[in-house]
Amino acid sequence: MRQIVENLLSNAQIHTPPGTAVHVRVGTARVGAAGGAERSGRSGVSPPLPEGTAVSIVEVADEGPGLAEYDAAHVFDRFYRADVSRSREHGGSGLGLAIAATIAEGHGGRLELDTAPGEGCVFRLVLPVGPSG
């Protein structure tokens, strides 16, 4: 958990301009028909959790530049960096999100991203709570 959140927070700091606001939200919910489905602007590695699953949610939302659709679809790939010239300055390996997504899946959960150019990034950690099914 800590590793995932630290990763998302450092990304929000590193991959957005200085002074960009970052919001962290936590809560519980049930996966809804719309919330569980993939929709335009949403990406993730594993499939959405079944509708009705009780979940806890941690969101790291930044007001940075956001990501284009192609980048959003690939940021969870190992070694993928959306802005290589800028990322190189920071020495990132492009592994952080791939590892975070793998940890989330290992706990039966999911890491997903809602973004669009100019609309910032919302990374959402969704973890099932209590008995599943």
Ligand X SMILES: Nc1ncnc2c1ncn2[C@@H]1O[C@H](COP(=O)(O)OP(=O)(O)OP(=O)(O)O)[C@@H](O)[C@H]1O
What is the binding site for ligand X (CB under 6 A)? 11-12, 15-16, 62, 64, 67, 75, 80-83, 87, 92-98, 121
CB 31 within 8 A of CB 51: yes
Q: In angstroms, what is the minimal distance from the CB of 1 to Mg ion?
A: 16
Q: Residue 96, interface with Mg ion (CB under 5 A)? A: yes
Return the SS3 of 43: strand
Please identify, among the stretches 3-11, 28-36, 71-79, 99-107, the one whose residues bind Mg ion according to the rule CB under 5 A: 3-11
Return the SS3 of 99: helix
Q: In angstroms, what is the minimal distance from the CB of 48 to ligand X?
A: 21
| Cβ closest to ligand X, residue 62 vs residue 112 | 62
Please, which residues bridge with residue 42 across strands? 114
Q: Which residue has the tokens 């190992």?
A: 78
Q: How far apart are CA 90 and CA 86, in angstroms?
A: 7
Q: In angstroms, what is the minimal distance from the CB of 41 to Mg ion?
A: 21
